[in-house]
């Protein structure tokens, strides 16, 4: 699931403490695979007797799930065994949770308020109700539920791969290496702006 987007593999890997997560956004080659296999082999010789490797479905045309499984199985002979599991459509979930129902209700209410406001603005201007900012997508961006014009989204989207051109979660990639005990560092020099958080009103 996810197509070319490596978000699920990356965040799943972070949450589960994976040794590697192969994604489309971060190209890899045979040297990276070799390094990861060697790292896992050395790790298995210690007291930690488990490993997890994730692969996004479209991360590579040639380094398939079967290829990676066979590579780890061959190189880990005598040290560890491998099993592969392709989750596929299991990730889609089943019945909506209470959170899903609540969120869906809030989003639909916001959408109806917005449509009503746009219709009121256009009253008396003939039959045309659309403008560049009236063709939009409702979603979450930086903790806020916002209406984002499609014209803006068009500039930020890689249509060929159906992913954003800039993805915030890629900055978290080094954390996975650190948590998996690779010799890696995490650069925190990226100065961000603090956002003022409003207290809850009763």
Residue 23 lies in a domain: yes
Q: Are residues 17 and 83 in the same domain?
A: yes
**In the prediction, which pLDDT does 187 show?**
65
Q: Are residues 144 and 174 in the same domain?
A: no
Q: Are residues 11 and 53 in the same domain?
A: yes
Supply the range of the domain harboring residue 149: 95-157
Q: Mapping DSSP to helix (H, G, I), strand (E, B) and coil, where does residue 147 land?
A: strand
Beta bridge partners of 77: none
**In the prediction, which pLDDT does 202 show?**
44
Q: What's the half-sphere exposure (Cβ side, CA atoms, 13 Å) at 194?
A: 3
Total tally of structural domains belonging to the chain: 2
**In the prediction, which pLDDT does 1 show?**
66
Low-confidence ranges of the chain (pLDDT < 50): 194, 202
Q: Are residues 141 and 116 in the same domain?
A: yes
Q: Are residues 17 and 51 in the same domain?
A: yes
**In the prediction, which pLDDT does 179 show?**
83
Q: Are residues 32 and 61 in the same domain?
A: yes
Residue 198 lies in a domain: no
Instruction: Kindly report, residue by residue over 145-200, the tens digit of the pLDDT.
Output: 889 999 888 999 999 999 999 998 999 888 888 888 777 666 655 555 545 555 55
**In the prediction, which pLDDT does 132 show?**
76
**In the prediction, which pLDDT does 189 show?**
57
Residue 143 lies in a domain: yes
Q: Is the pTM of this model over 0.85?
A: no
Q: Are residues 38 and 73 in the same domain?
A: yes
**In the prediction, which pLDDT does 18 show?**
92
Q: Are residues 41 and 14 in the same domain?
A: yes
């Amino acid at each position: 699931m996810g197509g070319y987007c490596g978000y699920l593999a990356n965040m799943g890997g972070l949450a589960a403490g994976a040794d590697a997560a192969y994604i489309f956004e971060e190209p890899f080659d045979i040297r990276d695979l070799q390094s990861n296999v060697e790292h896992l082999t050395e790790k298995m010789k210690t007291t930690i007797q488990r490993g997890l490797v994730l692969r996004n479905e479209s991360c590579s045309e040639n380094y398939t799930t079967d290829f990676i499984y066979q590579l780890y199985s061959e190189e880990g002979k005598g040290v560890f065994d491998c099993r592969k599991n392709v989750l596929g459509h299991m990730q889609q979930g089943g019945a909506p949770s209470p959170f899903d129902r609540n969120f869906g209700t809030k989003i639909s209410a916001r959408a109806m308020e917005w449509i009503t406001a746009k219709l009121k603005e256009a009253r008396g201007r003939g039959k045309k109700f659309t403008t560049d900012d009236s063709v939009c997508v409702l979603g979450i961006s930086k903790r806020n539920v916002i209406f984002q014009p499609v014209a803006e989204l068009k500039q930020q989207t890689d249509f060929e791969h159906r992913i954003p051109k800039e993805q915030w979660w890629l900055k978290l990639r080094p954390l996975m290496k650190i948590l998996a005990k690779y010799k890696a560092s995490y650069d925190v020099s990226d100065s961000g702006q603090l956002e003022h958080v409003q207290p809850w009103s009763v």
